[in-house]
Amino acid sequence: MFVCNCNGINCRQVKEAKKAGAKKWSDVHAHFDCKPQCGQCGVDIAKMLNDEPQSQSYPTLPSNLVGA
């Protein structure tokens, strides 16, 4: 799905830029050698950058709850 229609940046590309170190909305655009234009994607890209990756492991239970 496209996140930035002006520059054709999709969700996969935002994740790629994040892995490469993008911290801000403008970093994602810079990663792909373009600049933000209309600003519509700013909130969505910032949210994607700030979301923590989903953990595949289960949380560790405190010892007093194990076997409860």
At 40 the three-state DSSP class reads coil
| Backbone torsions φ then ψ of 49, nearest 5 degrees | -70, -30
So where are the chain's domains? 2-50
Ramachandran category for residue 53: left, alpha or beta (phi over 0 → left; psi -120 to 50 → alpha): beta
> Rounded distance, CA 65 to CA 40, Å?
47
User: Looking at the chain, how many residues does it have?
Assistant: 68
Overall average pLDDT of the 44-66 stretch: 67
> Rounded distance, CA 2 to CA 41, Å?
9
At residue 56 the predicted structure's pLDDT band, cuts being 50, 70 and 90, is: very low
- Checking if the pLDDT of 52 tops 80, the result is no
CATH no., domain 2-50: 1.10.10
